[in-house]
Amino acid sequence: MRFISRRDALRLIPGLTALVWSGTIERSQATPAEATTEIGRFTGGRTADPGKIALDLPEIAENGNSVTLAFDIDHPMTPERHVTEVLVVADSNPSPRVATFRFTPMSGRAAAATRIRLAGTQVVSVLAKTSDGKLFVAQRQVKVTVGGCGG
């Protein structure tokens, strides 16, 4: 897991070519701008700090149909202070939202894992908010493999 600098965390990696994924999917894609809007709605326009979210995503996915994503947030989960909500956004999928997770103090840990679809190489962002108003972010570019013979 890499931790990115605060400076990098605050800007989405721009202008990546979104690759077309195997055949059957519509080619409409969200733009990084739509993803930014979605993130803005979650953060209320405030800055999010990097460094607390350990994000597990592969650097290369051999296929975009099933990419394992896991996160674990370094933060207490007490009734007084706990992570309440985590948003996952992908900046070049047909639609940017991937999932929203809601935690309670009974969660014990603000950690979850799932498998997601990525329509091509893109940046996945994970944002977290806490009960006392803090915001955290982690981002990773996942390269979705282009297959060999053109299929």
Partner 1 sequence: MLNSPSSLIKTSSRKGRFLAGGTLVILAVSIAGVVSLQTRAQNARLAPLAIEGPASPVPWVRYAGWPNRDTSKFNSLTRIVSPPAPSSPRKLGKEVAGDPAAGQKLVADRSRGGSCLACHVMGPAGGADLPGNVGPDLSEIGNAGRDDEWLFNYVNDARVYNPDTVMPPWGTHGIFSQSEIGDIVAFLKTLKSPAKFKTALDDPMKRPAPVEQRDNLDALVNPAMWQVEERAPTLWKTAGPAGASCASCHSEPAQSFRTWAAAMPKWEARLNKVLGVEEFVTRHARATTGQNWLMQTEEHTALSTYLRYLANGAPIAIDTAGAEVKAAYQRGEALSTRKIGALNFSCADCHGADKSASKWIRGQWLGELRGQLDHFPTWRTSQQSVWDIRKRFQWCQVAIWADDLPPDAPEYGDLELYLASQNAGQKLSVPGIRH
Partner 2 sequence: MAEKPRIRLPKQAGKGEVVEIKTLIAHVMESGQRKDPSGKIVPRKIIKRFACAFNGKPVFECELEPAIAANPYLQFSVKVEESGVFAFTWTDDDGAVITAEEKITVA
Q: Which residues bind partner 1 (CB under 8 A)?
A: 17, 19, 22, 24, 59-60, 62-63, 65-66, 121, 143, 145-151
| Binding site partner of 93, from partner 1, partner 2, none, Cβ cut-off 5-8 A by kind | partner 2
Q: Which of 48, 92, 103, 142 binds partner 2 (CB under 8 A)?
A: 103
CA distance 19 to 30: 13
Q: Is 134 in the site for partner 2 (CB under 8 A)?
A: no
Nearer to partner 1, 26 or 80 (CB): 26
Nearer to partner 1, 80 or 149 (CB): 149
DSSP assignment of 129-142 equals EETTS-EEEEEEEE
Exposure string (b/e) for 1-25, b if CB count within 10 Å is 16 or more?
eeebeeeebeebeeebebbebeeeb
73: exposed, middle or buried (Cβ count in 10 Å: 0-12, 13-18, 19+)? buried
Nearest to partner 1 of 26, 132 (CB atom): 26
3 state SS of 86: strand
In the complex, the residues that contact partner 2 under the rule CB under 8 A are: 24-26, 28, 65-67, 70, 77, 90, 93-95, 97-109, 111-118
